């Protein structure tokens, strides 16, 4: 090692060694971040640029038709936000039903989860829009799409919530009961707030999946990102370029959402054990 002053064991020696370690750690951290970012940029250019070149599309397409596709992002967000809200409510009810000791709510809950996890989401969307009118229920496309997404995601999230509620230690419930709290109050004030913290990472994944799966409602003519991309791709004779732009829009939305999720998790972690 160079630049060490003072003899072994002296304060000066120790200070120099610690400073050198600190310096080296800083250097290696900075080198890691720089290379990490460079790798990302290289991969985006390689695959994005490569695909774009292979499509043979004019770069002007991005400026002329890009804004149209981007305008579908509003509908994507609307469909996703509505569906995830309803799905969360359904999942809460579903989880309560699945945890009930009464056979009827328990049966209803397990039937619901089985049906909507056991059939394809795409089928459910088409069914709500094209099949329900045969029994006299005529839903606008947006309502049909949101209904199908909500029911489907509600079924998956029911299981997530159920697992989260069960993950709260038994002693927490006992502590609530021992304080004379009725069961409902124990559930609402003690179990639920802790279950919510436990399920946030998993629910965040569902939110992200929802942003992407909302593209399925393009088959029932909802003017969201993918629908607009396909339409403008056909009319401008640039189908591949249109898909690339749509993909970029979804990707960006999910990245933005992940950042929010990280912040939320960190904020809730403050009171963690």
Partner 1 sequence: MSVDAANPEHTHEQEHRLGRPAPPGSGYPVGSPMPDHLGDVIVRTTGLEKYFGTNHVLRGVDMEVRQREAVMIIGRSGSGKTTFLRCLNFLEEPTIGWIEIDGVRVEADPLRARSRAHQEQIRQIRLRAGMVFQDFALFPHMTALENCIEAPVRVRGLPEEQAVALAEKFLDKVGLLEKRDEYPSRLSGGQKQRVAIARALCMEPKVLLFDEPTSALDPELIGEVLNVMEELAHEGTTMIVVTHEMHFAREAADRVVFMDQGVIAEQGPPEQILEAPTQEATKRFLRRFLLT
Asked if residue 181 binds partner 1 (CB under 8 A), the reply is yes
Considering the complex, state which of residue 5 and residue 102 has its C-beta at the smaller distance from partner 1. 102
Asked if residue 185 binds partner 1 (CB under 8 A), the reply is yes
Which residues, including other chains, have CB under 8 Å from residue 147's CB and lie 6 or more apart?
128, 139
The answer to whether 217 and 37 have CB atoms below 8 angstroms apart is: no
Count the residues in the chain. Answer: 273
**Binding residue (CB under 8 A) for partner 1 from 25, 31, 189, 234:** 189
The answer to whether 97 and 220 have CB atoms below 8 angstroms apart is: no
Asked if residue 267 binds partner 1 (CB under 8 A), the reply is no
**Binding residue (CB under 8 A) for partner 1 from 1, 36, 59, 272:** 272
Least distance CB 178 / partner 1 (angstroms): 4
Pick the piece of the chain touching partner 1 (CB under 8 A) from 70-78, 129-137, 190-198, 207-215: 190-198
Residue with tokens 């933005």: 256
Considering the complex, state which of residue 177 and residue 223 has its C-beta at the smaller distance from partner 1. 177
Pick the piece of the chain touching partner 1 (CB under 8 A) from 65-73, 137-145, 189-197, 233-241: 189-197
The answer to whether 126 and 118 have CB atoms below 8 angstroms apart is: no
Cα gap 164→175, rounded to integer Å: 18
For helices 60-99 and 192-213, angle between their N-to-C axes, nearest 10 degrees: 140
CA distance readout (Å), 167 to 194, 196, 206, 226: 9, 11, 19, 38
Asked if residue 273 binds partner 1 (CB under 8 A), the reply is yes
Considering the complex, state which of residue 54 and residue 273 has its C-beta at the smaller distance from partner 1. 273
Least distance CB 169 / partner 1 (angstroms): 8
The answer to whether 254 and 210 have CB atoms below 8 angstroms apart is: no
Asked if residue 184 binds partner 1 (CB under 8 A), the reply is no
Binding site for partner 1 (CB under 8 A): 169, 171-172, 174-182, 185, 189-190, 193-194, 197, 270-273
């Amino acid at each position: 090692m160079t630049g060490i002053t003072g003899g072994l064991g002296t304060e000066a020696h120790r200070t120099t060694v610690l400073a050198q370690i600190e310096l080296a750690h800083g250097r290696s951290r900075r080198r890691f971040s720089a290379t990490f970012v460079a790798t990302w940029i290289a991969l985006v250019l390689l695959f994005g640029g490569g695909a774009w070149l292979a499509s043979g599309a004019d770069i002007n397409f991005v400026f002329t038709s890009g804004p149209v596709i981007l305008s579908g992002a509003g509908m994507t967000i609307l469909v996703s936000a509505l569906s995830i809200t309803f799905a969360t409510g359904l999942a809460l009810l579903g989880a309560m039903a699945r945890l009930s000791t009464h056979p009827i709510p328990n049966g209803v809950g397990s039937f619901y989860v089985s049906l909507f996890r056991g059939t394809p989401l795409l089928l459910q969307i088409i069914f709500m829009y094209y099949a329900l009118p045969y029994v006299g229920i005529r839903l606008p496309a947006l309502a049909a799409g949101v209904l199908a997404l909500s029911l489907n995601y509600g079924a998956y999230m029911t299981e997530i919530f159920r697992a989260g509620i069960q993950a709260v230690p038994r002693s927490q419930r006992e502590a609530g009961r021992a304080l004379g709290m009725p069961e409902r109050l124990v559930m609402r004030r003690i179990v639920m707030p802790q279950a919510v913290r436990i399920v946030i990472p998993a629910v965040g994944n569902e939110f992200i999946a929802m942003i992407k799966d909302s593209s399925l409602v393009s088959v029932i003519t909802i003017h969201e990102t993918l629908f607009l991309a396909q339409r403008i791709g056909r009319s401008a004779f640039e189908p591949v370029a249109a898909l690339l732009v749509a993909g970029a829009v979804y990707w960006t939305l999910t990245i933005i959402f992940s950042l929010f999720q990280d912040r939320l998790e960190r904020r809730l972690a403050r009171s963690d054990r």
